[in-house]
């Protein structure tokens, strides 16, 4: 099994042992964008594909409310790397399903020593042909 839900209803991901990452995907999949945004540090940033950074929990919550309705993330596996400055870099690969399309995605999380999210970069892992077919 690649990921599973435990009694705490927090998603766990193969290769990732930071609870905040599972909490991020659990809250996002539940459409609880306020809870998702609260996982970010006050200076935290979300980098959606093809857009400028969204900074701060309030702005991130607003962005998710506008752009992530009906989104379902399926993280499949991850890798955790610790940096010298006590920051933790976590890379997760999986799939995102929207009401219109599905696409392979990579998420890169940067966590501070308090396990708050400083950055999430979301990258689409699709060919040019796949991306062009997503145009409306």
- Decide if pLDDT at 131 tops 80: no
From residue 12, how far is each of 49, 55, 57, 92 by CA, in Å?
24, 26, 23, 11
The confidence band for 65, taking pLDDT boundaries of 50, 70 and 90, is very high
Q: Does domain 3-133 have CATH number 3.40.50.2000?
A: no
Rounded-to-integer distance, Cα 51 and Cα 122, Å: 10
Q: In whole angstroms, what is the distance from residue 31 CA to residue 80 CA?
A: 26
Mean pLDDT (the chain) is 86
Domain residue limits, the chain: 3-133
Beta strand segments in the chain, E? 3-5, 11-13, 40-47, 54-55, 72-82, 88-97, 102-111, 117-124
């Amino acid at each position: 099994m690649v990921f599973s839900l435990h009694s705490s209803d927090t998603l766990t991901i193969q290769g990732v042992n930071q609870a905040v990452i599972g909490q991020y995907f659990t809250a996002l999949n539940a459409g609880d964008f306020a809870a998702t945004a609260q996982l970010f540090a006050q200076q935290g940033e979300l980098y959606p594909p093809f857009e400028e950074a969204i900074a701060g929990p309030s702005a991130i919550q607003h962005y998710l409310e506008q752009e992530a309705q009906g989104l379902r993330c399926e993280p499949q596996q991850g890798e955790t790397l610790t940096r010298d400055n006590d920051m933790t870099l976590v890379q997760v690969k999986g799939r995102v399903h929207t009401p219109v399309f599905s696409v392979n995605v990579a998420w890169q999380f940067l966590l501070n020593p308090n396990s708050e999210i400083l950055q999430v970069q979301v990258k689409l892992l699709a060919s040019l042909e796949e991306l062009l077919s997503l145009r409306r």
